[in-house]
Chains A and B, each alone.
Chain A
Amino acid sequence: MTPGGAIIEVENLRKSYATDFWKKRTRVLDDVSFSVGENEVVGFLGANGAGKTTTIKIINRLAFPDSGTVRLFGEDGVARFASRRRIGFMPEQPYFYEYLTGMEFLGLCGRLNGMGGRETRRRAVAMMERVGLAAAGGMAIRKYSKGMMQRLGLAQALLHDPELVVLDEPMSGLDPMGRMDVRAIISELKSAGKTVFFSTHIISDVEALCDRVILLDRGRKLAEGTVAGLVGNEVQFIELVFSSPPGGEAGPDMPPCIRFSRAADDLVVRVRNVDDANLWIAKMGGRGSKLRSMTQVKPKLEEIYVERLSGTAGGEGRDAS
């Protein structure tokens, strides 16, 4: 259950495309269900071809499911338009009318979103400034770099102050500064009470920003939950760092460990549990070595992701009739 009521409800979504008239249809989504609650930041994580963009297109009525439903703000998202005013969408690598300037394009977006002229101008100036394009508002879009287009895509998605922001690969094509800016904007949206649903294949972005994450692989949902929930509370190992004992060597009859290595003048030991850690601390202390640090290491989302993907590798093919 999602907190504060569901903003996006996707149920049993199936979608297949005919790549060629004579060929079998390729199934790109297979019974995908999930929901996104109010004021959540949810990451849609999956490799290229997992079906993220297709799902986002269906949510935005750019494609239609073979079966299944999408509800936005409690309404049928495929059939109705009323909810669209409450959504800001940025497609993957957004394309624009290159003969327009950035401000002209935002003007068009404002009119299509039903905003008044004065309101559009005010918001357009504010958004261009927020995404770092204040100086480029009067420049023709054909002169924009890829990163500037990505920023303009974000500006048009936020122009009408939507309640739900859907972003398809928002970090794509951005330099490190751009990525930091987008991260900051997503955090600000969260603070302002907005709901954000974004697709990515960059796991560190999900770990840094998301309340929840949905893992998708070859059109199927692999997992859904909070980052902490997916990672779990289980400690992967404990890492102990000792100063080198007099004589340099740890010596014989040492307690069990996963790994033992040297780093500069220190000895680094990885053990499975606290009991083993205590044995090591006692043993090394008896040999004149000091404990410098002890760290509990939990698995990273990336490792969970790879593990889940490996679990499904070699499974069923994607083709369906």
Chain B
Amino acid sequence: MSSGSPGPPAVRGGMLRRVLSIAANTFRETVRNKILYVILAFALFVIGLTWFLADLSMGELTRIIADVGLTSIHLFGVTIAVFLGITLVSQEVDRKTIYLILSKPVPRWEFVAGKAAGLSSTLLLTTALMAATLFVVHFLYGGKAEPGILIASAGIYLELVLLVCIATLFSTFTTSTLSAMFTLALFLIGHLSTHLVRFGGQSKSAAVRAVSSGLFYLLPNLEVFNLKNGVVHGEARSLEALAGMVGYFACYGGAVLLLACLLFERKDFK
């Protein structure tokens, strides 16, 4: 049985290699998921359909194509992120495939990070495909390239990755159904949280104002990633605003993923 050596073979690579191996395996798993192709095909069909919608409508046609197209990328992206994200870790636990991974020299946080990175790679591919399709449709109809579509799609992508982090967090300690409910609830709240702080600010009670303000910082503010209006109405965002968006994504996403790793660290597998 032995190769003749007194100990195990020399160790190659380190943390990055293990995380990338888990990410690559997750990418392979998700791109082989038939549901992904069904959602993606439907998304591309709807984006293609904006051409005909624009023909039927009055007003500025290229704006309508950008508006409907980016909304499609957003909604179909969220569908993919949530429905693949909620099973990201829980499915490994349910199917017990995790036993063979975590019994190897793989820290648990590397497993969580690798899973999230793998699904984020799949989302990068699908978002890029949808954005490229919309870009081409817009260009063919309007006759000029609109780089704002790609920038707005990048904003959508960051939001999707943030949702993957949130879904991963729930996936580490609850069932897929509850994970889906919690993640979708946070998605909706995340797009309304600016209203929450505005309404809270109008209250005469200092306690209500403090609570609404606290919730605003605790809950995700997904409107930060919404660059669609800028493209549709031709209002470009400043570089500072884009840097703020990336910074918010890094801080909030990092914190959520860190919490997921901490919760997963001492989880018992029965």
Contacts and interface: CB of A to CB of B under 8 A. Distances in A.
A61 interface: yes
Contact of B104 (A99, A109, A123): A109
Contacts of B102: 60-62
Contacts of B10: 114, 116
Task: Name, among B1, B7, B105, B266, the residue most crowded by chain A CB atoms within 10 Å (CB to CB).
Answer: B1
A75 interface: no
Contacts of B211: none
B1 A97 contact: no
Interface of B: 1-3, 5, 7-14, 17-18, 21-22, 25, 28-29, 32, 95-97, 99-107, 266, 268-270
Interface string A168-198: 0000000000000000010011001110000
Contacts of B28: 99-100
Task: Name, among A91, A94, A96, the residue most crowded by chain B CB atoms within 10 Å (CB to CB).
Answer: A91
B99 A94 contact: yes
Contacts of A108: 21, 25
A61 B12 contact: no
B99 A163 contact: no
Contacts, number: 115
B97 A112 contact: no
Given A84-B105, A99-B28, A115-B12, 13 more contacts: A17-B270, A61-B102, A61-B103, A82-B105, A91-B99, A91-B100, A94-B100, A99-B29, A161-B1, A161-B5, A163-B8, A189-B1, A194-B2
B29 A194 contact: no
Chain A, interface residues (CB within 8 Å), range: 35 or more
7 contacts: A62-B99, A63-B270, A85-B11, A89-B100, A95-B99, A112-B22, A113-B104
Given A61-B102, A114-B12, A95 B107 contact: no
A156 B104 CA distance: 10
* Interface SS of B by simple majority: loop
Task: Name, among A96, A108, A109, the residue most crowded by chain B CB atoms within 10 Å (CB to CB).
Answer: A108
Task: Name, among B9, B13, B95, B101, the residue most crowded by chain A CB atoms within 10 Å (CB to CB).
Answer: B9
Interface of A: 17, 57, 60-64, 81-82, 84-87, 89, 91, 94-97, 99-100, 108-109, 111-116, 119, 123, 130, 153, 156, 158, 160-163, 185, 188-189, 192-194
B18 A193 contact: no
Given A84-B104, A114-B13, A63 B18 contact: no
A163 B3 CA distance: 12
Contacts of A81: 105-107
B266 A95 contact: no
A83 to B, nearest CB: 9
A112 B101 contact: yes
Nearest to A158: B1
A159 B18 CA distance: 17
B268 A63 contact: yes
Nearest to B94: A95
Contacts of A64: 266, 268
The 9 closest A-B pairs by CB, nearest first: A114-B11, A192-B2, A84-B105, A60-B103, A111-B21, A89-B103, A95-B96, A91-B99, A63-B268
